[in-house]
Chain A
């Protein structure tokens, strides 16, 4: 059973002659527990695809199913709530809330939802990501690698259906990037977490179970699992 599915996804910016087909009929399936890397050059449409998959933006046509829910059928607020419960995000620019400390940032999605925070679980994640000593620190007191690990912890804390990562190492030097990714992979295995990661870096993409290549808004290779 696929946990994430995209059907004939299209996204067109602009109109008429100026129309840009950022996505031009993408079909995609991701199974539970898979670690998928989407690889493409700058402008290939990979970020747009991730935005669609995460419900951050709405497609021009086509459907996205997360846990068999058609996310386009949800209202803005319902989608927001769905997102915070089912989808975890990790961005290139970390995007931590600057006024909240590490622990507060991590539990924020749960608090927004009003659910009881599983403190033991959060502590465990922070421990796995080697952040136990930084719980009280504010984002600007952390290094880039530490900030990205906080973002990963935040994404994992709600036990989302999928974790979407957009160039998670883009702002980090290669050594730190490798470290962060290793921790991401360890966490994913530990918690049987489904991950879809975008990158333009083939070396990093090799860590994934499967590599999907995208060019000019179309998938050119689905990277069958058996290849790995």
Chain B
């Protein structure tokens, strides 16, 4: 019984669907556009996440999910046969080369099987993996460093030390034949130099002869799912009879999960804000879609109310009526959603590229996610939007009373009044017509105004991104040069992590500087003497309560992150209290304590810092050879310093090493007298005297640091400005795309409302013409209506913007410190003429459609 009646409802739904071509076109376009917005958003989100994951994996050197460490052939056989392991691969590292040439990225000489090779992001450009004993494969950059051409069959000499030869006492050198190579990956932490399995076996024997322990082989695995990996790995090991707890047990087996897969811990920090933003965005898109889809269906149901009344008379129940509307909506979805998903995916993929270009994530890791989740989520959200939008029109059709439907005309009443009092005043009629269906009019106003307000907001927002404010804060010097380590927040504790004197000289010789100076790290343990109470507090705060004084004498020493600065750098510090210039005195011992900024931008002095003018004693210790040549931890000196100032240090020239213990700045001239041997130049900063010199320095440094063998990096005003502008343009593009799509939806809505209004009044207009209204007057009336829509939504947008601009300004300024509050409604004023043009054109086009048929035909076309 059910089946029979379903078929009939379906027939009714689809037949009347076919009869509604204009509505279908507009509704489907709206569905496509909202689906595009949803898909684009999800594609961008998922791709950023995938790219982030990819770049993390690349920085880690591989995307295998986990590894069993130090396994034997026997272990591999046992473990790899476990059904919970989907795929496995092995790697044996035999040697390294971390000499100066490979300083940026160490070279690792190892054997990798096919799977491990694949998982290590190695994509052979030419040739094959090493098979014969004398074959080798590596990346193009390693080849360049070793002085060989990327040509298969070339001889490559590889100097290295065995990995087990820890003191590097027996360096080796081997000449191989190049069997394959791949493009170097800047993100990869090491240069992989791959050798054959037979070579590894030969080296194993040689290592044994040299009295060295055997090499380590790791078993890399992929499980069926990344979910609950830890448990599965433990089970695999335990089931194979290994001990995973007791490190001394003979059957102890260690395993590790690739940190790249533990993504929650990486991205979890700002997730609440992100989720809120995504939610707000989803709602905005859903609302945009709702505005038009609801409007389209509402207008169409109202227009076909007699039809629905008739169905009711014949015996269609409200449930069946709702199903008719729902089926029609679903049919439109079936056409619109796939199109929207495809277009949205394309757009999303394109925009992701642009978004990522302005972030720190390198382009080489750029991944467009192909996750089905994107399509699933977008389709579900779109379906929900459509169902929600058509629910009310469906209820309206279902509730229709058969008798009422026979009498139904849109609105009614009001028009009569104006016609009676003002006669044939065309403009008055237009105004009165707007009031006939207030809900419809308001919806059109809102959907148009929404697009305009958004456009204005995007321009307001992007316009507030203040490049100079950003540069003033982030760029302290025109140029800052340092070792890669410094910019990676590792400081320069060891001399090899610092700038070499001759390199500084070389840079100085090749650039012009108005002001320049060096920031030094201190290559020994720097500590401050504190009393017991302060020490307890410090320990509780930073080390979780482990109470152990560092000094053997029983003194309480708090760790200090310290930087010594030349006069030029000290000049860029912001004083919170005191006089920082005292640090420049080479003959007096002064120290400045670094202040912190709370989330409101207020400076807060270090809690453990003594008062200005008080004394603080610093103890420097390091490892020194004693009389027997043994290295022991020794006190190198202790000096009393007067606290000169509390200061704020710009990040660009600061220690960039977190904020453990106290953070202090010394004057380099004064500290050099006491601890000169331990000062490591960490950064060289300078300002160019003019633009020409700045440009010259920029191109010099770009070439100097860009060389693959160079260990230096630099930051500059020009690079910073370019990056900031790129970010700004990205926001402009994203916002513009969003506005564009929402704008099209708004115009569609407008078009639909005007068109439906004219079609619904087809007969009425014909009657007006029959009683003497000229075609010109009809056009005038319709155009006036169109202009009211334009002016109305323009005014609403203007009013909303006047209210919201200050609120948005405040919110943006709160979120982004580099945001400058400003006022603009220019975009609205610029869009108004466009709106006016639409207001004139759309009614005219619609009327032209209508005026084809004769007046008599149009009057007859009732009932």
Contact = CB atoms under 8 A, between A and B. Distances in A.
Contacts of B11: 100, 104
Given A89-B313, A98-B19, A112 B403 contact: no
Interface in A96-148: 97-100, 104, 108-109, 111-116
A85 B1 CA distance: 15
Nearest to A84: B315
A93 interface: yes
Contact of B5 (A51, A77, A112): A112
A72 B534 CA distance: 88
Interface in B280-326: 307, 310-320
A227 B597 CA distance: 106
Contacts of A89: 313-314
Size category of the binding interface on chain A: 20 to 34
A154 B315 CA distance: 12
Nearest to B5: A114
A47 B616 CA distance: 105
A81 B1 CA distance: 15
Size category of the binding interface on chain B: 20 to 34
Interface string B1-35: 11011011101100110110000000000000000
A202 interface: no
Contact of B401 (A57, A95, A99, A116): A57
Contacts of B863: 93, 171
B4 A83 contact: no
A8 interface: no
A80 interface: yes
Contacts of B19: 98-99
B145 to A, nearest CB: 77
Contact of A111 (B8, B312, B317, B319): B8
Contacts of A171: 863
A114 B1 contact: yes
B313 A112 contact: no
Contacts of A112: 5, 8-9, 314-317, 320
Contact of B316 (A80, A95, A99, A116): A80
Contacts of B312: 80
Contacts of B12: 97, 99-100, 108
A147 B612 CA distance: 103
Contacts of B320: 112
Given A93-B863, A100-B15, A114 B315 contact: no
B396 to A, nearest CB: 14
B311 A97 contact: yes
B517 interface: no
B317 A81 contact: yes
Nearest to B401: A57
Contacts, number: 73
A56 B313 contact: yes
Nearest to B14: A99
Nearest to A116: B4
A77 B317 CA distance: 6
A111 B3 CA distance: 10
Given A56-B403, A98-B19, A113 B315 contact: yes
A76 B312 CA distance: 10
A108 B315 CA distance: 9
Interface in B12-71: 12, 15-16, 18-19
Given A51-B403, A112-B314, A77 B15 contact: no
Given A56-B403, A57-B401, A97-B12, A113 B314 contact: no
A120 to B, nearest CB: 17
B346 to A, nearest CB: 37
B491 interface: no
A126 B16 CA distance: 25
A97 B310 contact: yes
Nearest to B13: A99
B402 interface: yes
A20 to B, nearest CB: 15
Given A57-B403, A100-B15, A108 B314 contact: yes
A154 B15 CA distance: 19
Contacts of A114: 1-2, 4-5
Interface in B388-410: 401-403
Nearest to B7: A111
B159 to A, nearest CB: 85
Given A56-B403, A57-B403, A95 B313 contact: yes
Contacts of B402: 56-57
A77 B321 CA distance: 11
Contacts of A115: 1, 4
B5 A97 contact: no
23 contacts: A51-B403, A56-B402, A56-B403, A57-B403, A77-B319, A80-B318, A81-B317, A83-B313, A83-B315, A89-B313, A89-B314, A97-B311, A98-B19, A99-B16, A99-B19, A108-B8, A108-B12, A112-B8, A112-B315, A112-B316, A112-B317, A113-B5, A116-B4
Interface of B: 1-2, 4-5, 7-9, 11-12, 15-16, 18-19, 307, 310-320, 401-403, 863
Given A93-B863, A108-B12, A115-B4, 19 more contacts: A51-B403, A56-B403, A77-B317, A80-B315, A83-B315, A89-B313, A97-B307, A97-B310, A97-B311, A98-B19, A99-B16, A100-B11, A100-B12, A104-B11, A108-B314, A112-B5, A112-B9, A112-B314, A116-B4
Q: Which 5 A-B pairs have the closest CB atoms?
A: A84-B315, A111-B8, A99-B15, A114-B5, A114-B1
